[in-house]
């Protein structure tokens, strides 16, 4: 059953690229006592994700933070090296934290996986956005397959 508003984020471990290489970040460290805008994309460097989804959050980062969000996070079923490179190429440094969910453990735990095997991508995370306050989902926007509307930065900004 997919996660829904009012649910607590399950324990998970992400990878984040640092100057010293990949490092672990726990969901507890990310969400405890904070307000986080998290969005998930099917894959780094893929067309809609690179042309619209990530750039929207990079462009709107200051406006989102001004509404009380402590951190903006992008996650995908990619490794930390790919997420780090994608973030650099998109100008996300200092605006959007790029977290790798390399094995898809996080999206499995929240019930938001999708099978993209037909496109050669295997199991991925669905396209979605959420607001998490102190570990609890207060807003959740899950896209219909092959859509990009409700998970956008503009839509999420309107919900804050």
Q: Is 100 exposed, middle or buried (0-12, 13-18, 19+ CB in 10 A)?
A: buried
Q: What is the model's pLDDT at position 77?
A: 95
Q: What is the model's pLDDT at position 51?
A: 82
Residue located via tokens 């998490």 = 132
Q: Are 151 and 128 in contact (CB under 8 A)?
A: yes
**Number of structural domains, the chain?**
1
Residue 4 lies in a domain: no
Q: What is the model's pLDDT at position 50?
A: 81
Q: Are 87 and 73 in contact (CB under 8 A)?
A: no
- As a whole-number percent, the residues of the chain with pLDDT over 70 amount to 99
Residue 53 lies in a domain: yes
Stretch 84-91: mean pLDDT, rounded?
Answer: 96
Residue 1 lies in a domain: no
Residue 121 lies in a domain: yes
pLDDT category at 123 given cuts 50, 70, 90 is confident
Q: What is the model's pLDDT at position 130?
A: 97
pLDDT category at 48 given cuts 50, 70, 90 is confident
Beta strands (DSSP E) in 41-105 are: 71-76, 97-100
Q: Which residues have a catalytic role annotated?
A: 49
Cα separation, 63 vs 156, in Å, equals 11
Cα-based angle 56, 59, 60 (whole degrees, multiple of 5) = 85
**What is the CATH classification number for the domain harbouring 123?**
3.40.30.10
In this predicted structure, the answer to whether residue 119 has a pLDDT above a threshold of 90 is no
Stretch 19-37: mean pLDDT, rounded?
Answer: 96
**Sheet with 97-100: strands ordered across:** 21-26, 13-18, 97-100, 71-76, 35-40, 128-133, 136-142
Residue 2 lies in a domain: no
Residue 8 phi, psi (nearest 5): -85, 140
Stretch 60-79: mean pLDDT, rounded?
Answer: 97
Beta strands (DSSP E) in the chain are: 13-18, 21-26, 35-40, 71-76, 97-100, 113-115, 123-125, 128-133, 136-142
Residue 23 lies in a domain: yes
Residue 6 lies in a domain: no
Residue 112 phi, psi (nearest 5): -125, 50
pLDDT category at 122 given cuts 50, 70, 90 is low
Residue 7 lies in a domain: no
Q: What is the model's pLDDT at position 60?
A: 97
Stretch 120-148: mean pLDDT, rounded?
Answer: 91
Which domain range does residue 18 map to?
Answer: 13-159
* Comparison of pLDDT for 122 and 129, the residue scoring more: 129
In this predicted structure, the answer to whether residue 54 has a pLDDT above a threshold of 70 is yes
């Amino acid at each position: 059953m997919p996660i829904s508003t009012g649910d607590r984020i399950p324990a998970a471990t992400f990878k984040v690229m640092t100057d010293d290489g990949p490092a672990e970040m726990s969901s507890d460290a990310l969400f405890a006592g904070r307000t986080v805008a998290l969005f998930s994309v099917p894959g780094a460097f893929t067309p809609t994700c690179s042309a619209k989804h990530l750039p929207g959050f990079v462009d709107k980062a200051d406006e989102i933070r001004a509404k009380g969000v402590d951190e903006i996070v992008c996650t995908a079923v990619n490794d930390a090296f790919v997420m780090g490179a994608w973030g650099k190429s998109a100008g996300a440094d200092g605006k959007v934290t790029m977290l790798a969910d390399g094995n898809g453990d996080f999206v499995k735990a929240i019930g938001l996986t999708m099978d993209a095997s037909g496109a050669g991508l295997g199991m991925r995370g669905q396209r979605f956005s959420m607001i998490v306050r102190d570990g609890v989902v207060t807003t959740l926007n899950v896209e219909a397959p092959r859509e990009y509307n409700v998970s956008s930065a503009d839509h999420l900004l309107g919900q804050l």
